[in-house]
Amino acid sequence: MDLSIRVSRIVAAVFILLIQVVSGSFLFNVTHKFAGKEKQLSELKSHDSFRHARMLANVDLPLGGDSRADSIGLYFTKIKLGSPPKDYYVQVDTGSDILWVNCAPCPKCPVKTDLGIPLSLYDSKASSSSKKVGCEDDFCSNIMQMESCGAKKPCSYHVVYGDGSTSDGDFIRDNITLEQVTGNLRTAPLSQEVVFGCGKNQSGQLGQTDSAVDGIMGFGQSNTSVISQLAAGGSVKRIFSHCLDNINGGGIFAVGEVESPVVKTTPLVPNQIHYNVVLKGLDVDGEPVDLPPSLTSTGGNGGTIIDSGTTLAYLPQNLYNSLIDKITAKQPVKLHMVQETFACFSFTSNTDKAFPVVNFHFEDSLKMTVYPHDYLFSLREDMYCFGWQSGGMTTEDGSDVILLGDLVLSNKLVVYDLENEVIGWADHNCSSSIKVKDGSGAAYALGADNLTAGSSVINGTLVTLLSILFWVFHYFTS
Digit-coded pLDDT (tens) for 290-322: 998 877 765 555 689 888 767 788 899 999 999
- For 359-371, the pLDDT digits (tens) are 999 999 999 999 9
Q: Which of 48, 137, 168, 307 is catalytic?
A: 307
Q: Which residue has the higher pLDDT, 46 or 130?
A: 130
Determine contact, residues 363/278, Cβ cutoff 8 Å: yes
Confidence of residue 347 (pLDDT cuts 50, 70, 90): very high
Determine contact, residues 30/75, Cβ cutoff 8 Å: yes
Per-residue pLDDT, averaged over 73-99, amounts to 79
Q: Which residue has the higher pLDDT, 192 or 264?
A: 264
pLDDT at 243 over 50: yes
Return phi, psi of residue 374, to 5°. -85, -40
Strand partners, 276: 305
- The region of weakest confidence among 50-59, 192-201, 225-234, 455-464 is 455-464
Average confidence score pLDDT of the chain: 73
**Catalytic residue at 174?**
no
Q: Which of 48, 70, 93, 137 is catalytic?
A: 93
- The region of weakest confidence among 248-262, 272-286, 403-417, 464-478 is 464-478
pLDDT at 93 over 80: no
Highest mean predicted confidence (pLDDT) among 108-112, 173-177, 255-259, 381-385: 173-177
Cβ neighbours of 464 (radius 10 Å): 20
- b or e along 98-117 (b: 16 or more beta carbons within 10 Å of the residue's beta carbon)? bbbbbbeebeebbeebebeb
pLDDT at 477 over 60: no
Which pLDDT score is estimated for 296?
A: 73
Which pLDDT score is estimated for 353?
A: 95
- The region of weakest confidence among 1-5, 135-139, 172-176, 397-401 is 1-5
- Burial label for 125, CB within 10 Å (0-12, 13-18, 19+), is exposed
Confidence of residue 449 (pLDDT cuts 50, 70, 90): very low
Per-residue pLDDT, averaged over 43-64, amounts to 40
**Catalytic residue at 93?**
yes
pLDDT at 14 over 70: no
Q: Which residue has the higher pLDDT, 77 or 153?
A: 153
Determine contact, residues 439/429, Cβ cutoff 8 Å: no
Q: Is the peptide bond before 154 cis (omega within 30 degrees of 0)?
A: no
pLDDT at 58 over 60: no
